[in-house]
Amino acid sequence: MSPRAPAPIATTPVEQRGLEAAVRLFAGKFVVPAKQAQLAQRLATAARRGETLAALPRWLAGAPTPLAGAEQSPAGLEARVGAQVGIYLDDDGARRTAIGGALALGRGHAALFIADSGRLALVFRIDAAPLLSIRL
């Protein structure tokens, strides 16, 4: 028997207005105040998005935690934070997906997942585990 191909990740496109709202929400809650407006603008436009996503971890407010152990799998992450749905953003653009799908899409890329609730963000790093930020 041949190994099964992974199931495709369910995503839908995001309109520019929705992307702008999501990145403003993210910046207002998860980014240090001095960089909020600049990062929101750069994330909402394609021109410098990849560079901005790569630099994003240094501008996060609070103490985001790297995913570890079972949390590094979609099922383990959903067990911790629930079946969050939101916007996944990378250098190729923005699309709506579940957090488990974002985890699969973001491996090895600079990317960002912003939950619709506005209380959770997952920042993907190229050479390290993603950073989870939760604000109540």
Place of tokens 């600049």: 38
Instruction: Determine the average pLDDT of the residues in 101-124.
Output: 95
Q: DSSP secondary structure string, 28-63?
A: HHHB-GGGHHHHHHHHHSSTTHHHHHHHGGGGB-S-
Q: What is the pTM of this model?
A: 0.92
Do 53 and 43 touch, CB atoms closer than 8 A?
Answer: yes
**pLDDT number for residue 46:** 92
- Position 103 pLDDT exceeds 60: yes
pLDDT in tens, 58-74: 999 999 999 999 999 98
pLDDT over 90 at 32, yes or no: yes
Banded pLDDT at 3 (limits 50, 70, 90): low
**3-class state of residue 135 by DSSP:** coil
Other Cβ atoms closer than 10 A to 38: 13
Query: At residue 29, does pLDDT exceed 80?
Result: yes
Q: What is the mean pLDDT of residues 43-60?
A: 95
**Average pLDDT of the segment spanning 102-117:** 95
Copy the structure tokens of residue 121.
Answer: 């963000």
Distance CA 29, CA 135 (A): 7
User: What's residue 7's pLDDT?
Assistant: 66
